Structure 1
Amino acid sequence: MKKYSNNIGSLIKELRKKREMTLKDLSSSCNLSVGFLSQLERGMTSIAIDSLEIIAHALSVELDFFFDFKKKDNSANQIVRSYNRDAVPITDKIIQHNLSPDMKAFNLYPRLIDIMPFTDNTSYDLQLYAHEGEEFIFVLEGVLTLIIEEEEFTLYPGDSTTFNSNRPHNWKNETNCITKIICVHNPNPFKII
């Protein structure tokens, strides 16, 4: 099995099948719905790091198994060049670029996220999720629809927000153009203590 697949969902599916688990088995182990896991495996939804950590535990792998963190030649170098960022496809619509030279060393988890246009004429069901910590989002390009609990917000380039991640939330791009955001999460789920 490849360590790095087309997206996290397809890698979860490969691991689940390798371990001869059904979606129902994984659902029971993770306390996540079969429908959500099915959408995740097909690349139709994103997942919070905390939920991915629960799935990793159920599949007997470490969280960083799902990411291709390349060890840099000079760990003292604190600069991440735009041409040298790690890119991780989360789904076929979401690509994450790591903005830290060492994703395991710092309390903050900074990412540049590209959200591809939603091109279907039908609306998609967005599952809200909550997890430990706080999030900061800054819209660089495009239009972001942010849902926090029952409220929906439209953010434009230059807009930002900070909120407690324990409030159910998610975001999407309902336009026909790419949306780029900076997302910083604290605490960093990859930090080595």
Structure 2
Amino acid sequence: MKDDVGKKIKDLRNSRNLTLKELSFETDLSIGFLSQLERGLTTVAIDSLDKIAKALQVNLSYFLEEKASNRMPVLKEYENEVFQIVNNQFIHYHLTNDGKGKNLLPRLIKILPTKSEEEVTVYQHEGEEFVYVLEGILTLFIDNQRYELYPGDSAHYESTVVHNWANYTNKMVKILTVHTPNVFKD
């Protein structure tokens, strides 16, 4: 990884026509250290990398992201991390190491119980969705119809039709979803 970080720093520095001396002045890091970093001969602390990112006008994450071609096509269950929590009720996990450049967005979503059968706001968007219930009872609203889906049940529909999900039980619901378009594609 240190080789990739160094190469990215050097490429950005050169593209901005900065010398090592100028980058050193902007970051308060020595020329020798920056030179070694660019050649992959040393590592860098996050706070120093943040200084370099600011001087080169990029986000810190630019240096930490792996190239898509280097990512493994397999994601082990123990490697999966929470991606997003929506309304303190929907916990999203991406089921891919590399969503960029892919048309499909596979996700595991855990839906916490609601306190009552409150009104669900339906919505629509471009694309299509596939939902497969892994655990619990999912209440699915599609085109003003209400469906109860049990483990093993699935639904596949155009996302342009008004829809939404709810969990009106007292147990967590787990669903596998696959969406198009993948909003993280680019």
Normalising by the residue count of structure 1, what TM-score does the alignment of the two structures yield?
Answer: 0.59
Identity %: 40
Give, in angstroms, the shift of residue 155 of structure 1.
Answer: 0.2
Indicate if the aligned counterparts of 2:71 and 2:98 stay in contact, CA closer than 8 A: no
Q: 1:111 to 1:168 in 2, by over 3 A?
A: same
Q: 2: distance between equivalents of 1:149 and 1:183?
A: 18
Question: In structure 2, how many angstroms separate the alpha carbons of the residues matched to 1:162 and 1:110?
Answer: 14
How far residue 71 of structure 1 moved from its aligned partner, in angstroms, is: 4.1
Amino acid at match of 2:147: F
Instruction: Summarize the Cα distance change of 1:172–1:86 in structure 2 as closer, same or farther, 3 Å threshold.
Output: same
User: Aligned AA for 2:171?
Assistant: C
Q: CA deviation at 1:151?
A: 0.5
Match of 1:146 in 2: 140
Q: Is 1:85 aligned to 2:80, yes or no?
A: yes
CA distance in structure 1 between the partners assigned to 2:119 and 2:65 by the alignment: 37
Name the CA distance, whole Å, in 2 between partners of 1:103 and 1:148: 27
User: Which residue number corresponds to residue 175 of structure 2?
Assistant: 181
Q: What is the aligned length?
A: 121
Aligned CA distance change for structure 1 residues 160 and 81 (closer, same or farther; 3 Å)? same
- 1:72 Cα offset (Å): 5.5
Provide the aligned C-alpha RMSD in A. 1.7
Q: Deviations over 1:155-189 (max 9, x none)?
A: 00000110000000001000000000001001111
Amino acid at match of 2:110: D
What's the secondary structure of 1:123's corresponding residue? coil
Residue matched to 1:31: none
Higher CA-based Rg = 2
Amino acid across the alignment from 2:120: L
TM-score normalised by structure 2 residue count: 0.61
Unmatched 5+ residue regions in structure 1?
1-69
State the SS of the aligned residue for 2:70: coil
Q: Which amino acid in the other structure matches residue 111 of structure 1?
A: R
What does residue range 27-38 of structure 1 map to in structure 2 within 5 Å? none
Q: Is the 8 A contact 1:72 1:101 kept in 2?
A: no
Query: Counterpart of 1:191?
Result: 185
Q: 2:155 aligns with which of 150, 161, 173?
A: 161
Runs of 4+, deviation exceeding 2 Å: 70-76
Q: Is the 8 A contact 2:75 2:95 kept in 1?
A: yes
User: Which whole-Å CA distance do the structure 2 matches of 1:172 and 1:72 have between them?
Assistant: 36
Q: Residue 107 of structure 2 corresponds to which residue in structure 1?
A: 111
More helix by share: 2
Q: Aligned partners of 1:81, 1:155: CA distance in 2, in Å?
A: 27
